[in-house]
Amino acid sequence: MADMTVAYSPSHGLGEEQSIWFKLTPLLNQENPMQVLMALSDKYGGVVPINLKNHRIMLLSEPAHAERVLVTNADNYTKYFDGLRPIFGKSMITVDGALWQKIRAPQQPAFHPHMFEDYFPYLMSAIDSKMGRWAKFASTGETIEMVEETWTLAAEMVCKALFDREMPFNPHFVFGQVKTYTDVMNHKSLRLKSVRGELVEMTAEDAAKAMEVWGSIPETVTGAGILEHREKTLLKMLEAAEADPNFPEFDRQQVIDEMKQYLWAGTETTALTLAWSLYLLSQHPEALERIRSEARAVCGERDPVWNEVQQLSYTKMVIQETMRLFPPIWALIRIAAGDDDIEGHKIKAGDKVVILAYVMHHSPKYWDQPEKFDPERFAPERAKKRVKYSYLPFAAGKRSCIGGALSQIENTLALVQLLRRFTPEYVGPVPAKIHATVTLCPKGGLPFRIRALS
């Protein structure tokens, strides 16, 4: 129970020693961490209080709990970001109340569905770069790490579509720095760490250097060559807010921190979803073939055009099912500002409340054969019967993900385009194991070989 080492994983870490992630490490470090949480939730009827010296963590796993915390009494619950502040700065994902609303307002238009058509060519262009790389991997037959591959793709999509810039940094290095930070913070008392099999000593200095690199990335992006001088981009919206004399809170640092937020929250999650979906498809070749035949039926041999994306409905269902089985954000954490009563359970001010999305997504109470990969459960007729708030990949209520719809377009296009030209063959252990930190990562990564279709 008390083995505190954490395997290599391209993920956020668990935060500082006093953070909830650190406290939950003994639970999460099990061979199968999610099974432990599911068994606990089952045993205690969906509410598991964990009493610590000076505070209490409540693990909740019923849709009604999520509804109370995220929707009907959301104002009583504030965001929790201990240990992750240097990664997200003061960006909107970390703040609450009126300030959050004020900061979100000028960015919201960048995520209106009518903007997606503008983004479409840039998403396709990022996928083209990935296909070029995969053609090389197919010829060498080398083994690649899929999460690193999908990181690059998701980061390039964000830079091109939302910031109107080429991606001017190497995501493997930069996201590796984010990971170095979280690992050091995570292991203040345990500095000897195995990174890809080698024991290295990581220090607070490493963490500080890592955050220096990370902090410099937004300026590297803004300083990179402008792609097309588009008028309506997210970056332009951020800069307009900075220039607004009526909005003194939105200073240069706010622009930088918002960009950091998008480069991490918008890429890690999208990348994990795509990587897990390729893993699932490698185990379900019939679903992979269905994606190929859907693509042929919708757009023949040519690339999709914008108004065909909505017709790629089976591909989208595969992504939705992937996020059910492997929700990138498997737990949503809040702090209770005041006392509350959730379905008869007393919550005290200061309690940390953890909504276990993973547990809900795997509960036989809400899903027929929950461990089965069955994209058809997201077909409109079946989806209608779903219990509200039992599926929370993007959270719910006003603090739900701003980029959820965009990420599904990104990943639908990526699956269709990549799978029409390549068969990614998973070469790791089956089933792949989970490493749960802030995000739900594959333990030890997801190794693949790429085969080109003739």
Residues that bind ligand HEM in the complex, under the rule CB under 6 A:
92-93, 104, 158, 261-262, 265-266, 269-270, 273, 323, 328-329, 332, 393-395, 399, 401-404, 406-407
Q: Any idea what DSSP says for residue 165?
A: B
Residue 441: enclosing H or E segment and its boundaries? strand 440-442
Q: How far is the CB of 24 from ligand HEM (least distance, A)?
A: 15
Query: Closest-CB residue for ligand HEM?
Result: 403
| One-letter amino acid for residue 350 of the chain | G
Nearest CA among 232, 386, 416, 381 for reference residue 310:
416
Residue nearer to ligand HEM on the CB measure, 210 or 331: 331
Residue nearer to ligand HEM on the CB measure, 138 or 265: 265
Nearest CA among 59, 82, 2, 36 for reference residue 438:
82
- CB count, 10 Å around CB of 417? 19
Residue nearer to ligand HEM on the CB measure, 404 or 447: 404
Q: How far is the CB of 263 from ligand HEM (least distance, A)?
A: 9
Residue 49: enclosing H or E segment and its boundaries? strand 47-51
Torsional sign, CA 251, 171, 409, 399: negative
Q: How far is the CB of 208 from ligand HEM (least distance, A)?
A: 26
Q: How far is the CB of 256 from ligand HEM (least distance, A)?
A: 14
| CA 257 to each of CA 25, 253, 263, 338: distance values in angstroms, whole numbers, following the listed order | 28, 6, 10, 29
Residue nearer to ligand HEM on the CB measure, 38 or 396: 396
Q: How far is the CB of 179 from ligand HEM (least distance, A)?
A: 18
Exposed, middle or buried: residue 356 (CB in 10 Å: 0-12, 13-18, 19+)?
buried
Residue nearer to ligand HEM on the CB measure, 29 or 273: 273
Q: How far is the CB of 142 from ligand HEM (least distance, A)?
A: 27
Residue nearer to ligand HEM on the CB measure, 65 or 193: 65
Residue nearer to ligand HEM on the CB measure, 29 or 408: 408
Decide if 78 contacts 96 (C-beta within 8 A).
yes
Torsional sign, CA 224, 228, 229, 234: negative
CA triple 10-170-173, angle to 5 deg: 45
Q: How far is the CB of 429 from ligand HEM (least distance, A)?
A: 24
Q: How far is the CB of 427 from ligand HEM (least distance, A)?
A: 24
Residue nearer to ligand HEM on the CB measure, 155 or 211: 155
Residue 133 is encoded by which pair of tokens?
């790389």
Return all residues near 406 (Cβ < 8 A) that are at least 6 apart: 111, 116, 119
Q: How far is the CB of 258 from ligand HEM (least distance, A)?
A: 8
Phi and psi at residue 168, in whole multiples of 5°?
A: -95, 15
Residue 237: enclosing H or E segment and its boundaries? helix 234-243
Residue nearer to ligand HEM on the CB measure, 314 or 391: 391
Nearest CA among 67, 446, 42 for reference residue 276:
446
Nearest CA among 46, 159, 78 for reference residue 390:
46
Exposed, middle or buried: residue 367 (CB in 10 Å: 0-12, 13-18, 19+)?
buried
| CA 158 to each of CA 222, 399, 421: distance values in angstroms, whole numbers, following the listed order | 13, 21, 23
Query: How many whole angstroms separate alpha carbon 316 and alpha carbon 387?
Result: 20
Residue nearer to ligand HEM on the CB measure, 138 or 332: 332
Q: How far is the CB of 393 from ligand HEM (least distance, A)?
A: 5
